[in-house]
Each structure stands twice: as C-alpha cells, then as structure tokens.
Copies of this chain bind each other. A is one copy, B any other.
C-alpha cells in the first residue's frame, strides 16, 4: 500500500465512523478546531474542566491537548483526561504551544510529558527544540540548535517518548524515532491565519482515532492541511485576502477528494 492509499483509507474511515475527538485547547482557535473536525467528518467535543473532562475523554476516540492558553483549571483537566485516555488506549495528541516562551509553559509541558503517554507531539521547530531541551538540560530554550538539525532532535524526542513527533513549518518532518517522513507543499498564507497548527492537531487526531498506525495518521493530518492551503489559496478571487483564505481552507478540507489530495506537494518516507 502506498502512503496515498493509506491516507485515502484513513479519510474514508473517518467519514464512515465519525469518531468523537475531545479537545482541551486554547480559547483563540477553539472554534476553528471544531469546524475542521466536522469538515473531515469527525465529531468534535470540548470540555476543559477537571469535573467534566475525564468522563468526556472516556467517550472519545481521540484526545487533543493544546497549551495555547493555560490555567490551573485546564491543566488539571489535561492531566485527568490524559490519564484516562492512556488507561483506555485512546490516542493523545499534544501541541506544546509557545513552550519556550514562559517558565510556566515549560513547567506545564514537563508535568504533562511525565504524566501522560502521548501518541503524537506536534509543534513548530522552536517548540520541538524547547521540548527536547527540557529533557536534555532543563532549560528548554533552543538547546543545542547550533549543533543538530531539527530532524535529529525530533527523532531523539520520538524515541525517548515512544511516540510520533511532527515538526511543521515550511517543510514538515514526521518521525517515529526510526522512519522519517518529509512533506512539502502547503502555502505561506497558512502562517498568516491564526490556528492552522491547532487545526492540524484536530486532523491528526481524527486520523489517529481510526488507526493504530499513528505515523500514517500524522502524515494524513499534515498532508490534508497542506493541500487545503494550496487549494484555498488557488481559489482566492480578486480582492480576497487572509479572511477569505481561512474560509476557503475549511471549504477545501470539507470537499477534499482523493484526486485533489494527490495533486499536492510530495510525501517522502525514508
């Protein structure tokens, strides 16, 4: 089976089984996360209180934990939900938003990493470097970035936590610690809309909900977002900018076909 065949199967399985994706996520992009989850045929639910979250996770087929806006209350919800997910074998996707930026975020990331087994960790280059830094020297700020490239850091982090690590940006790198996938494509305008990273988490989670092959699921989520970015941009009309791009991005996700996806950027697994 080629990677494209794997992706098509996952996309069809999401639509067929409509998995419930529990998000404990930030206030900024929570609506976009709900709408992209629906766009690919899964079912979003949000509950971020410790009293509510644990039981909600138990009903879900995947859990997204996103550090975009934190408080003690939501961190507690992340911990109880993460633990019940681990107990029940529900995949957990972790987005360490802004982890290098404040000591509180570093501290929370550390606690989460040590309390929860994640299936997938997805971040941008500086977030993944900061996460790796927590482990290597406790400082977390771009530790060792002069010496090693981000793929090496991602591989090491993936090995250490026995999970998939995805670094998204101009080029995307996905690794399970052994294999390395590189995805090209997407569009620079994806960086001019808030939350395209967060939305990618929802896509990855929707795919993880229907397979145990989380490497393929992560590739699927990222490839979907990249291709939707290309199509969303291509479909912009005169005088349409970033506002309409965001709308056409969700449109492209909801209308994605096998053929349209395959015409996008390359996926290289080695």
Q: Is A268 an interface residue (CB 8 A)?
A: no
Minimal Cβ-Cβ distance residue in B for A192: B38
Q: Is A244 an interface residue (CB 8 A)?
A: yes
Task: Tell me which residues across on chain B come within 8 A of A49, comparing CB atoms.
Answer: 69-72, 104
The answer on a CB contact under 8 Å between B29 and A31 is yes
- Contacts A27-B46, A28-B31, A56-B101 given; indicate if A242 touches B51 (C-beta within 8 A): no
Task: Tell me which residues across on chain B come within 8 A of A254, comparing CB atoms.
Answer: 192, 241-243
Count contacts on A: residues with CB < 8 A to the other chain: 56
What separation, in Å, do the CA atoms of A32 and B29 have in the docked complex? Answer: 10
What separation, in Å, do the CA atoms of A47 and B49 have in the docked complex? Answer: 18
What separation, in Å, do the CA atoms of A208 and B21 have in the docked complex? Answer: 34
Which of B26, B34, B252 is close to A241, meaning CB atoms less than 8 Å apart?
B252
Q: How far is the CB of A11 from chain B (nearest CB, A)?
A: 15
Q: How far is the CB of A84 from chain B (nearest CB, A)?
A: 12
Question: Please, what's the 1-or-0 string for A49-68, where 1 marks a CB less than 8 Å from any CB in chain B?
Answer: 10110011001000000001
Question: Please, what's the 1-or-0 string for A177-191, where 1 marks a CB less than 8 Å from any CB in chain B?
Answer: 000000000000000
A68, A241, A255: most-surrounded residue (chain B CB, <10 A):
A241
The answer on a CB contact under 8 Å between A194 and B31 is yes
- Contacts A241-B39, A243-B254, A254-B241 given; indicate if A70 touches B52 (C-beta within 8 A): yes
Q: Mostly helix, strand, loop or mixed at chain A's interface?
A: helix
What separation, in Å, do the CA atoms of A242 and B71 have in the docked complex? Answer: 32
Q: How far is the CB of A105 from chain B (nearest CB, A)?
A: 7
Question: Please, what's the 1-or-0 string for A31-46, where 1 marks a CB less than 8 Å from any CB in chain B?
Answer: 1101100110000111
Q: Is A132 an interface residue (CB 8 A)?
A: no
Minimal Cβ-Cβ distance residue in B for A77: B71
Q: Is A269 an interface residue (CB 8 A)?
A: no
- Contacts A28-B31, A239-B255 given; indicate if A102 touches B244 (C-beta within 8 A): no
The answer on a CB contact under 8 Å between A51 and B104 is yes
- Contacts A46-B26, A49-B71, A52-B70 given; indicate if A243 touches B243 (C-beta within 8 A): no
Q: Is A235 an interface residue (CB 8 A)?
A: yes
Task: Tell me which residues across on chain B come within 8 A of A71, comparing CB atoms.
Answer: 48-49, 73
The answer on a CB contact under 8 Å between B39 and A34 is no
Minimal Cβ-Cβ distance residue in B for A247: B243
